[in-house]
Chain A
Amino acid sequence: MKVNPRRLPFYVTLFLFVLLFGFGSVRYTGFFSVQVFLNLLIDNAFLIVVAIGMTFVILSGGIDLSVGAVVALTTMISAALVEHHGWSIGVVVPLVLAIGALFGLMMGVLIQVFQIQPFIATLGGMFLARGLCYLISIDSISITDPVYTALSQHKIFVGGGNYVSPSVVIALAVFAAAAWLAHCSRFGRTVYALGGNERSALLMGLPVARTRVLVYVLSGLCSALGGVLVTFYMLSGYGLHAQGMELDAIAATVVGGTLLTGGVGLISGSVVGVLLLGVIQSLITFDGTLSSWWARIAIGVLLCLFCLMQRFLGRTQRGASLPPPGTHKPAQRSDAGAKDAAPSALIMQSHALPPFN
C-alpha cells in the first residue's frame, strides 16, 4: 500500500496516540477502559471545537491567536447575562455565537481588506477580547443557573455504564459538519486552494476575499462554541479561562498534520492531535509523580518534531512530481506574494513608503 506522504504526519499522530494509550494501559492499572477514552473526549471537547476552527484558518494559510481570548469572553458574557441579568440559555447561546462570529468577521475584514498580517490582527483581537472580559468583571462569575448545571452534570450513557457529556455530542457534531465542509463543499475546496497558492486561486476565479473573511468568521464561531462548552465544563465565567488555548489549538492542528503554510491537512488530523495532547495529559495525571509542566514540555517537543517532519517532507516533495494543490512554498513566505495579488499598482507603491507618512 502506498501512503501519500502528505498524510504521513496524520498517520504518525494516530500511531503515537495508539502507542501512548497502549503504553498507559500496560503501565497503569485502570487506564485501559472505555471510560478513560471517553474522558479524553469529555475533557477536551472544547479544545476539539476550537482546534477545528483553527484548522480552517491554518489551511487557508493564516493564523488566529484570538481564539483563547474569544473563549474567555464567551464564558464571561454567558455568565454575566445568565447570573446578573437572568437571561435564559436559549437567548444567551445564540447571542454569544453571534458575537464570536462578528468578532471573526472583524478579524477577517482587517486581514483581507486592510492587508494586516493575520498574526498581528488576531493579536490585537486577543488583547481586545481579554480586555473586554475584564470590562465585564475582574473576578470570576460562577454560574448557578439550573439549566447550565443540569447540562454540565448530564451524562449520556453509551452502554456498559460508560457515559459522555452533552459537550462531546456537540463536539462530534461539529467534527462531522466541519469534515463535510472541508472535504465535500465548494467552500472547503476554496480554502485548500487559497492556502495552497493564493494567486492561483485568484486566477482560477475563486472567491478568495470572501473565503478568507469567512474562514475567520468560522474560527470566531468555533471559538464561541468552544467557549459555550467551557462554560458548561467550568460552570463559571472568568477572564483568565482558556489562557494559552490558542497555543494548544495550534499545536493540535500542527501535530495533526496540517501544514502551517496552508493548503494541506485534515480536519480529523486536528481531532487526533487534540486526543494526543489529551492522552499525554492523562498519562501525567495517572503517573502522579510527574509534574504538570512536563505536559507543556512534551507538547513543545512534539510540535518541534512534527514541524521538522513537515520541513523534511516539504524538501523531499520539491523534486517529486506531485499534484499542484498545496505545493510546497518557501518557509519565509514574504508578504510580497500576497501583495502581488492586489490588482492596484498604487497599493504596491504606497507600501514601499515608510509608515506614518
Chain B
Amino acid sequence: MTHPARIRALTGHRLFWPCVTLILLCLLNTWFNPHFFHLDIRNGHLYGSVIDILNRAAPLMLVSLGMTLVIAIGGIDISVGAVVAISGAIAASLIGGTLVIQNGAPVYVTKVPMLLALLAAVGAALLCGLWNGLLVAGAGMQPIIATLILMVAGRGVAQLITGGQIITVYYEPFFFVGNGYLFGLPFGLYVAAAVLGLLLLLMHRTALGLFIEAVGINAVAARLAGLNTKALVFGIYAFCGAMAGIAGLIICSNVKSADGNNAGLLLELDAILAVTLGGTSLAGGKCSLWGSVLGALIIQTLTYAIYSMGVPPEINLVVKAVVVFAVCLAQSAAFRTMLFQRRLFQRRTGAQS
C-alpha cells in the first residue's frame, strides 16, 4: 500500500472522525487542566479525570448501545430517559430509604434482598422495552410515536412509584453498582464492557448482525427473504429497554437517590447524539457499536471540558446543539453535494472530454 493510499484508508475509516474528535477534546481538556491524563492510585483504585469520565460515561454507553441496535433496524426509542427513571425508582423504593442506627452505628437494612430489587428494576425496564416492541412490531406504529407514549407516561409512573418524592437510599452495598471499584476500575465500566463484548460477539460471530442490517436497510425485503422481522424488532426494543434499566441502576446508585422527575432527563437525546456521533446513520442499516461507545465518551468528555473551563454547565446545551447540526450536516447528502458540487462537476466534464 502506498503512503497516500494508507492515509486515505485511515481517514476513510468510519471511526476516524469520532476518534479525532475525542482526541481533540482530550487535548482541549489538557490545555485547561494539565493534570488531565494524570492517574493516581488512591485506596487501591485508579483515580483521575480520565477514570472519572469513563465512570460517568458508563450509563450513557449502555443506553447508546441499546439505541444503536434500535436505530440500526430503522427505529428510534425516545423513552429511554423515562425507563431510566422507572428502573431507578423501583430499585430505590424496593431497597428502601430509611437510615437505621443501632448502638450508635448505622445498620444497612433493605426491604427486599438487593439482588431481587436489582432484578425487579431491570425486569420492569425489560417490560417497558417489550411494551415498546409490542407497539412497534405488533401494532405497527411509527417508532417515534410508540416510544413517545412511554416517554410521556413513564415519568408519571416513576413518580407514582416514588410517591412524587426523591427517595434517598442508605443501603451501603447498593452504592457499589454506581460508585464501586473492581480491580482498580469503576464497576459500571465492566458492565458496559461486558455488554459491548456480548454485542460484538453476537453481531460479528452470529447472523444477528446481518439480520439487523437487513431489517434496517429494507424491512419488507428482509421479511420476504424469510426473516422473522417482527420477532427481531420486538427483541431489540426489549433489549434497549433492559439497557436503559441497567443504566438507571447505575445512575440511581451513583447519586444514591431516585428522582422520578429528573433522573435520566434528556438521556434519550444524549444517546441518540452519541449514536449519531459514532457514525451510525439515522436512516438505519449499518451501525457501529464501537462508534457509539466513542460517541458516549465524546459527550462526557465535552461535558467535562465545559465544567473545567469554568463556564456554566448549561452552556453545554448550546455546544451540543452545534455538534448535532454539524454531525447532521456532515451526514447530509445534500450538504455534501453542495460542498463538492464544483469538484465533481469538473471531474465529470474532464472525463467526458
Q: Which residues of A contact B (CB under 8 A)?
A: 63, 110, 113-117, 119-121, 123-128, 130-132, 134-135, 138, 239, 247, 250-251, 254, 260-261, 291-297, 299-301, 303-304, 307-308, 311, 331-335, 339, 342, 344, 346-348, 350-351, 354-357
Residues on A with C-beta less than 8 A from B329 are 114, 116
Minimum distance in angstroms from B152 CB to a CB of chain A: 4
Least CB distance, B131 to chain A, in whole angstroms: 9
B33 contacts A by Cβ under 8 Å: no
Min CB–CB distance B260 → chain A (angstroms): 7
- Chain B residues proximal to chain A, CB less than 8 Å: 12, 14, 16-18, 74-76, 135, 139-146, 148-157, 159-160, 164, 218-219, 260, 269, 272, 276, 279, 281-284, 286, 312, 314-322, 324-325, 328-337, 344
A261 to B146, CA, bound (A): 13
Do residues A120 and B282 form an inter-chain contact, with CB atoms below 8 A?
Answer: yes
Knowing A335-B283, A355-B14, A355-B279, the reply to whether A303 touches B141 (Cβ < 8 A) is no
Interface of B is mostly: helix
Q: Which of B145, B156, B319 contacts A254 (CB 8 A)?
A: B145
Contacts of B16 in A (CB 8 A): 356
Closest to A117 in B: B282
Measured in the bound complex, the distance between the Cα atoms of B324 and A119 in whole Å is 12
Among candidates A134, A250, A347, A357, residue contacting B337 with C-beta atoms closer than 8 Å: A347
Cβ-defined partner of B328 (8 Å) among A124, A130, A254, A299: A124
**Subset of 29 A-B contacts with CB under 8 Å:** A63-B144, A116-B332, A117-B282, A120-B324, A121-B328, A123-B269, A124-B325, A126-B269, A127-B318, A128-B322, A128-B325, A131-B315, A131-B319, A135-B315, A247-B152, A291-B159, A293-B157, A293-B160, A294-B156, A297-B156, A297-B160, A300-B156, A331-B142, A332-B75, A346-B337, A347-B333, A347-B337, A354-B14, A354-B281
Q: Is the CB of A131 within 8 A of B317?
A: yes
Closest chain-B Cβ to A106's Cβ sits at a distance in Å of 9
Q: Are A304 and B149 in contact (CB under 8 A)?
A: yes
Q: How far is the CB of A331 from chain B (nearest CB, A)?
A: 4
What is the CB-to-nearest-CB distance from A111 to chain B, in angstroms, rounded to a whole number?
Answer: 10
With A134-B315, A135-B318 as given contacts, are A308 and B333 in contact (CB-CB < 8 Å)? no
Q: Is the CB of B336 within 8 A of A350?
A: yes
Query: Are A131 and B320 within 8 A (Cβ)?
Result: yes
A293 partner residues in chain B, CB cutoff 8 A = 155-157, 159-160, 164, 260
**CB <8 Å contact, B141 and A355:** no
The answer on a CB contact under 8 Å between B282 and A291 is no
- Does the CB pair B155–A296 fall under 8 Å? yes
CB neighbours (8 Å) of A307 from chain B are 135, 139, 141, 145-146, 149
A297–B335 Cα gap in the complex (Å)?
41
Minimum CB–CB distance for B216 against chain A, Å: 10
Q: Which residue of B lies closest to A114 (CB)?
A: B332
B69 to chain A, nearest CB (A): 16
Name the residue in B18, B145, B159, B279 with the highest tally of chain A Cβ atoms < 10 Å from its Cβ.
Answer: B145
CB distance from B318 to the nearest CB of A (A): 3
In the complex, are the beta carbons of A134 and B317 less than 8 A apart? Answer: yes
CB distance from B88 to the nearest CB of A (A): 15
* Centre residue among B154, B269, B282, B317 by max chain A CB count within 10 A: B317
Cross-chain contact of A355 among B150, B164, B330 (Cβ < 8 A): B330
Q: Contact check, B14 vs A311: say whether CB atoms are below 8 A apart.
A: no
- Given A134-B314, A247-B148, A250-B148: A331 touches B328 (CB 8 Å cut-off): no
Which residue among A130, A260, A295, A356 has the maximum number of chain B CB atoms within 10 Å of its CB? A356
- Tell which of B156, B219, B269, B318 touches A332, judged by Cβ atoms closer than 8 Å: B219
Is A300's CB under 8 angstroms from B333's CB?
no
Q: Are A354 and B328 in contact (CB under 8 A)?
A: no
Bound form: Cα–Cα A250–B142 in Å: 14
Hey, which chain B residues are within 8 Å of A251, CB to CB?
A: 152
Known contacts A131-B316, A135-B315, A297-B153; A125/B321 CB under 8 A: yes
Q: In the assembly, what is the distance between CA of A239 and CA of B146, in Å?
A: 28
Chain B residues with CB under 8 Å of A299's CB are 152-153
Residue on A with the closest CB to B265? A243
The residue of chain A having its C-beta at the shortest distance from the C-beta of B233 within the complex is A332
Given contact pairs A121-B325, A261-B142, A356-B279, a sample of 7 additional A-B residue pairs in the complex whose CB atoms are under 8 Å apart: A114-B328, A123-B269, A124-B328, A300-B156, A307-B139, A344-B337, A347-B337
Return the chain A residue nearest B75 by Cβ.
Answer: A332
Counting chain B CB atoms within 10 Å of each CB, the highest count among A260, A292, A299, A304 belongs to A304
Chain B, Cβ-Cβ closest to A261: B142
Q: Which A residues are CB-close (under 8 A) to B317?
A: 127-128, 130-131, 134
Given B14, B269, B325, which contacts A356 in the complex, CB threshold below 8 Å? B14
Instruction: Specify which chain B residues have a CB less than 8 angstroms from the CB of A311 in the assembled complex.
Output: 139-141
- Assess whether A131 is in contact with B149, with CB atoms less than 8 Å apart: no
Give the residues in chain B near A297, CB-CB below 8 Å.
Answer: 153, 156-157, 160
